[in-house]
Structure 1
Amino acid sequence: MRELLRGDCHVHTDWSDGGDTLEAMVAAAAAQGHDYVVLTDHSPRLTIAHGLSPHRLRRQLDAVAAVNEALAGTGFRVLTGIEVDIAPDGSLDQEPDLLAQLDVVVGSVHSELRMDRAKMTRRLLTALADPHLDILGHCTGRKLPVVTDARHASRGGAPRRRAPSSFDVDAVFAAAARHGKAIEINSRPDRLDPPSNLLRKAAKVDGLRFAINSDAHAVAQLGWLPHGCARAEAAGITPDRIVNTLPADDLLAWTRTR
């Protein structure tokens, strides 16, 4: 599976809470043998992650255009995107007109993760119905007690486990398939989200697609993709259901149907 991935659809830079520059992340992604990388820094509601206001996101789009100009002729490209926060009411935390300009929109829940089951289900169903959303990121929000980088280790103490959010999994996965959205298979060792039992359940949903993403916040973390690939294979998910096995133009054709 790993050798079939053409790109990574969830990557952060120091424009938000990443540890490396746009240029460094792009160079490292290209060195992985990929055709593209999708830049998905956080949206403004996530202030702890220095999320991008509409003004800053527009500046970033200019920076990406300049990087792509420099990459012309190399066969590698940077696709524009965002990891947009899904608000408690299910709305997406960025101007709709700006979301419409982006190549790929990953939507994730980062707050009120202990919301009751019915409300969390409504929240996710509302987000999945939004035409701007392409990929539902780390859908349960769980965290595993794994040290992922030196900054994490330097804070002292063992990382804490966070239980997954509760929602109607069958309804959410069915809605994702119905709306033509993808479920992220998050490759971070401290997430590995969805959990294996839910990933096996998702694999059985007809028409449901997936994106194997690193959710990298530093250059070294781009190498986490094999974790997600192994989990997809174990769940019986075939490469034709993975959107980032597509060439860039085909991926963009898919997102534009949203």
Structure 2
Amino acid sequence: MVATVEPLAAPVEPDEALRRIAFLLERERAGSYRVEAFRKAVVTVRETPEQELLSRHQAGTLQDLAGIGKSTAAVVSEALDGELPAYLGSLQEKAKPLAVGGADLFALLKGDCHTHSNWSDGGSPIDEMVLTAVELGHEWLVLTDHSPQLRVANGLTAERLTKQLSIVDAINGSLGGQFRLLKGIEVDILDDGSLDQTDAVLARLDLVTASVHSKLRMNSAPMTKRMVAAVSNPRVNVLGHCTGRLVEGSRGTRPQSEFDARAVFEACAEHDTAVEINSRPERHDPPDELIRLAMDVGCLFAIDSDAHAPGQLEMKAYGCARAERLGIDPDRIVTTWDVARLLDWAAGSSR
């Protein structure tokens, strides 16, 4: 069951106070510079012997440590004094449910099919994404860093992806079966509908989310052909943010791509490919009328966070509010399934 994290109370370790502040800032989509300051401070605090932290706190020299500034030093000092850091307390008091409605469906979620780490354009290492997912009550998480064509997002070559898979194995080996990190990718749908990774590499993955990231203004007919080809590919399990639109945020707005949605969703239903309900507020993708069409056609759905930072994993609350309002049967949402059922479905889609 996915849930919100409980507020921290004093006493709290300095690194945990810094982690939680970063999480809450990410949750509210604060600027990356502010978040990075606290994430870097976590690393510094963990690498500094406890006695040195105490000595520097008493001497007022915490800011002499690399990665520790005025704000982060204050958090560390207050935590070392056994207090709840004031900034953390303020953020916790201000934290409200992300969405109105959808709480019952949110509680049914068990995982997420679309997440990113700092191996591509995410802000945190894989282990931090996993730790936060565990804290939020996830049972599984699919790691879906970008594929090679999306160079601006540091997309993974086959070689880098292969190296990442070995790290996923190591992480799973350390978790004792209490949580499962699944091997995945957000693979680009190329202009002709083919995928931006070799079939041999895709065959090694547990789940594949496929998305259009280029030539979003392609004419309707070729865009439809492109998307139908992709969702019909036996290696594809989830169609990510299908319209490509942006409705708010720092990147501005972008109109949705033009395509025959019925034809695309019928292909999804035929090939057992789930339609993603992308929960990022700036995407809100697909719009309600397309979700209703996908429901009518008989599609499965995946409520995903598209998280690029640990604190964004909770964004699935937005997708849950929409899905519950539109009346989607929870059993049609693959992110409510346990890992065994999910893997059986994904493997069936690739035969």
TM range (shorter): over 0.9
Provide the rounded CA distance (Å) in 2 between the counterparts of 1:244 and 1:198.
19
Provide the rounded CA distance (Å) in 2 between the counterparts of 1:253 and 1:198.
27
* Cross-structure match for 2:243: 140
In 1, are the aligned partners of 2:248 and 2:281 still within 8 Å (CA)? Answer: no
Aligned equivalent of 2:229, options 126, 129, 143: 126
Provide the rounded CA distance (Å) in 1 between the counterparts of 2:247 and 2:122.
20
Aligned equivalent of 1:175, options 263, 267, 292: 267
- Unaligned stretches of 5+ residues in structure 1: 148-158
Provide the rounded CA distance (Å) in 1 between the counterparts of 2:163 and 2:256.
35
**Within the alignment, does 1:39 sit opposite 2:143 as a pair?**
yes
* Cross-structure match for 1:90: 193
Provide the rounded CA distance (Å) in 1 between the counterparts of 2:317 and 2:296.
22
**Within the alignment, does 1:252 sit opposite 2:320 as a pair?**
no
* Cross-structure match for 2:157: 53
* Cross-structure match for 2:17: none
Aligned equivalent of 1:4, options 78, 85, 108: 108
Provide the rounded CA distance (Å) in 2 between the counterparts of 1:226 and 1:38.
18
Task: Determine helix, strand or coil for the equivalent of 2:214.
Answer: coil
**Within the alignment, does 1:106 sit opposite 2:209 as a pair?**
yes
Aligned length: 245
Aligned equivalent of 1:199, options 291, 300, 321: 291
Q: Deviation string for 1:49-71 (max 9, x for gaps)?
A: 00000000000000101111111
How far apart are 1:118 and its partner, in Å?
0.2
In 2, are the aligned partners of 1:35 and 1:248 still within 8 Å (CA)? Answer: yes
Task: Determine helix, strand or coil for the equivalent of 1:34.
Answer: coil
- Runs (4 or more) in structure 1 with deviation over 3 Å come to none
User: Who wins on radius of gyration, i.e. which is larger?
Assistant: 2
Aligned equivalent of 1:243, options 323, 330, 334: 334
- Unaligned stretches of 5+ residues in structure 2: 1-104
How far apart are 1:188 and its partner, in Å?
0.4
* 1:147-158 equivalence runs, <5 A: 147=250
Provide the rounded CA distance (Å) in 2 between the counterparts of 1:213 and 1:80.
16
Q: Deviation string for 1:227-251 (max 9, x for gaps)?
A: 0011111221110100111110110
* Cross-structure match for 1:67: 171
TM-score (norm 2): 0.69
* Cross-structure match for 1:79: 182
Q: Deviation string for 1:129-181 (max 9, x for gaps)?
A: 1110000000000012224xxxxxxxxxxx41100000001111111001111
In 2, are the aligned partners of 1:203 and 1:236 still within 8 Å (CA)? Answer: no
* Cross-structure match for 2:49: none
In 2, are the aligned partners of 1:200 and 1:236 still within 8 Å (CA)? Answer: no
In 1, are the aligned partners of 2:303 and 2:316 still within 8 Å (CA)? Answer: yes
Provide the rounded CA distance (Å) in 1 between the counterparts of 2:276 and 2:126.
22
In 2, are the aligned partners of 1:188 and 1:214 still within 8 Å (CA)? Answer: yes
Which structure ranks higher in relative contact order (CA pairs < 8 Å, sequence separation ≥ 6)? 1
Residue type matched to 2:139 in 1? D
In 2, are the aligned partners of 1:124 and 1:172 still within 8 Å (CA)? Answer: yes
TM-score (norm 1): 0.93
Question: Identity of aligned pairs, percent?
Answer: 53
